Every structure is written in structure tokens, then in C-alpha cells.
Amino acid sequence: MTATDRSIELVHTAAQAAADKLAHDIVAYDVSDVLSITDAFLLASAPNDRQVKSIVDEIEERLSKELGAKPVRREGDREARWVLLDYVDIVVHVQHSEERVFYALERLWKDCPELDLPEDAKATRGKAAEHAKLQEAEEAAEPGGEWR
């Protein structure tokens, strides 16, 4: 069994929305062969809580306006460290970069086929590592590591 056309359409729209809000490392997996509850997982991350919320809001708005899809469940809003949007056909995970590394969902789903994504979403691969390096360089350049 493979992800339905509707699931792929939802994934593509959600991935583009996440990319438009500068999400990092967007990836989607076809989990239809191993899970009966959904067809696909979309994973994205951001370096701070505010951006996680912004990405989630954009995904919800875009899927609603363009495809008439509303999540049946939304979890993790309060802390915005890991927000899950359940659209039944797909589940979207938007994680803070630290949670993304810690929970490593890619490791769990690595045996599932990756879904092709829009070019903007593909271009986000490796952005979390780039951001972390820039942040380390900035912190190293500041005397005493204090904010000015």
C-alpha cells in the first residue's frame, strides 16, 4: 500500500507552507505500509518556539484555505517545543530543533520510503546544522558569552 494522492497533496502543501516560514530539515515519509492510522508523516523543525508556532499556524491556514483540510487533533501548543497536527491522512510534526535531535524521529521511520517534496522544502535540508554552527560562532565571538 502507498500513500494516497490526497495524502501526497496534503504533504506537498504543508511542506511548502513550512518552507515559506523558514522551517529546517523538512522531510516526509510514506508510513502507510507500517501504520494503519495514517499514510504519511511530515517532519519539520525550527530553532525557537516562536518560529515553531509560526510554522504550525501557516500549515494550518494553508491546508484549510487551499485544500479545505482541518486537523482533527492538535497537540503540544502550550510549550511549542513539539506540535503535532493530525489530519488523519497525514500527521505533521513541527519540533524545536533540540527536540528534533533528541527524539530523532527520522531514525524510527528510516525504513519507510521518503516522499518527494517541493524544491523549496528540499532546500531546507541541513539548515538546522547551519543555524547551530552560526549560533556557536556568535556565542564564541562574544566576550564572556554575555548578552550586550
For 22-56, the pLDDT digits (tens) are: 999 999 999 999 999 999 999 999 999 999 999 99
What domains are defined for the chain?
A: 5-138 (3.30.460.10)
* Set of cell numbers at residue 64: 484549510
Q: What pLDDT score was predicted for residue 28?
A: 97
Q: What pLDDT score was predicted for residue 145?
A: 53
The CA–CA distances, whole Å, from 128 to 3, 20, 46 equal: 27, 15, 7
Average pLDDT over residues 138-142: 71
Residue whose C-alpha cell reads 554552527 in the numeric block: 133
Burial 86-97, CB ≥16 within 10 A → b, else e: ebebbbbbbbbb
Distance between terminal CA atoms of the chain? 56
Model confidence band, residue 143 (pLDDT cutoffs 50, 70, 90): low
For 74-117, the pLDDT digits (tens) are: 999 788 899 999 999 999 999 999 999 999 999 999 999 999 99
